[in-house]
Each structure stands twice: as C-alpha cells, then as structure tokens.
C-alpha cells in the first residue's frame, strides 16, 4: 500500500463525519463502517462511468493503517484505474482529519472492482465515453 504525505488533489467523492454509532467495542470507528463509505465512494464513480446500475464484485488490498475516531472528518477519494468491457477498477483512499485540527492522514486504501448491470441484473457493456 502506497503512503502519501498529502491528500490527493482531485475532488473528494464523499466527505462525512464519524459518529458514536459507528464505533466498535474498543471505541474506534468500526472497520465495516469505513469499508461501506469506501464502497459508496467507488459506487459514485462506477455509476458515472457505467451510466447506470453497477455492483461491487471484489475488493482488493484493504489494510487499515490508522484508527478513525469519533468526530473525525473522513474524506474519500475515488479514482478510475481501468475499464474492461463490463467491469471497472476504482482505487479508493480514505483520509481522516481530527475535528479540531488541520492535519490529515491516510487511514486506508483499496481497489474496488465493479460490474455494470442491465435492468435484469446481468452484466452489460460499459458505454464508451
């Protein structure tokens, strides 16, 4: 997993605040909540690229680097890595910023694979841009 000292320069796909309901028994933000936010960010990109419905079929390389705390601003960046005939790979990075500070740090990244779906839920070709 690559390490960055600065957030990506593109616009974020999602920005949200980690809340108490999102914690695990240790009081840190639950990894499943963070993965769901990452899937939403990737899904935003997938819907634009596919021009419609798509579904997550794989997630590769997720590793939690730092904990996220209640009140942290979580910013998710999604970048299209590649497009196949019916599928696309989207890299998502999640960054945290403490509620009362300006310093940011990457907390995780992963590669999401989505497939474009037709109205019956079957794979369909991704339209050319």
Domain containing residue 100: CATH number: 3.10.129.10
What's the mean pLDDT in 84-97?
97
What is the per-residue pLDDT for 89? 98
What is the per-residue pLDDT for 27? 86
What is the per-residue pLDDT for 1? 46
pLDDT for residue 4 is more than 70? no
The answer to whether position 19 is within a domain reads yes
Q: Hey, what's the torsion of the CAs at 2, 90, 44, 66, to 10 degrees?
A: -20
What is the per-residue pLDDT for 10? 81
Distances (CA, A) of 91 to 56, 68, 88: 13, 20, 10
- In this prediction the pTM is 0.90
Q: Which residues of 57-74 are buried (b: 16+ CB within 10 A; e: fewer)?
A: eeeeebeeeeebeeebbb
CB contact set of 99 (below 8 Å; sequence gap of 6+)? 17, 71, 72, 73
The answer to whether position 7 is within a domain reads no
Calculate the average pLDDT of the chain.
Answer: 93
Domain containing 92 equals: 14-116
E strands, the chain, are 14-17, 54-60, 73-83, 87-97, 105-116
Beta pairing, strands 14-17 & 105-116: unpaired
The answer to whether position 88 is within a domain reads yes
Q: Which of 54, 74, 49, 55 is nearest to 64 (CA)?
A: 74
Q: What is the pLDDT of residues 43-85, one digit of tens each?
A: 999 999 999 999 999 999 899 999 999 999 999 999 999 999 9
pLDDT for residue 2 is more than 50? no
Torsions phi, psi for 57 (to 5 deg): -120, -15
pLDDT for residue 3 is more than 80? no
What is the per-residue pLDDT for 41? 97
pLDDT for residue 110 is more than 50? yes
* Domain count across the chain: 1
């Amino acid at each position: 997993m690559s390490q960055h000292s600065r957030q990506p320069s593109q616009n974020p796909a999602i920005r949200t605040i980690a809340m108490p309901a999102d914690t695990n028994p240790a009081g840190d933000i639950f990894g499943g909540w963070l993965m769901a936010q990452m899937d939403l960010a990737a899904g935003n990109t997938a819907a634009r690229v596919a021009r419609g419905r798509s579904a997550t079929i794989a997630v590769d390389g997720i590793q939690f680097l730092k904990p996220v705390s209640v009140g942290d601003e979580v910013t998710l960046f999604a970048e299209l890595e590649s497009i196949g005939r019916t599928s696309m790979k989207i890299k998502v990075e999640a960054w945290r910023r403490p509620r009362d500070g300006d310093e940011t740090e990457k907390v995780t990244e992963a590669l999401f694979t989505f497939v474009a779906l037709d109205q019956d839920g079957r794979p369909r070709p991704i339209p050319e841009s």
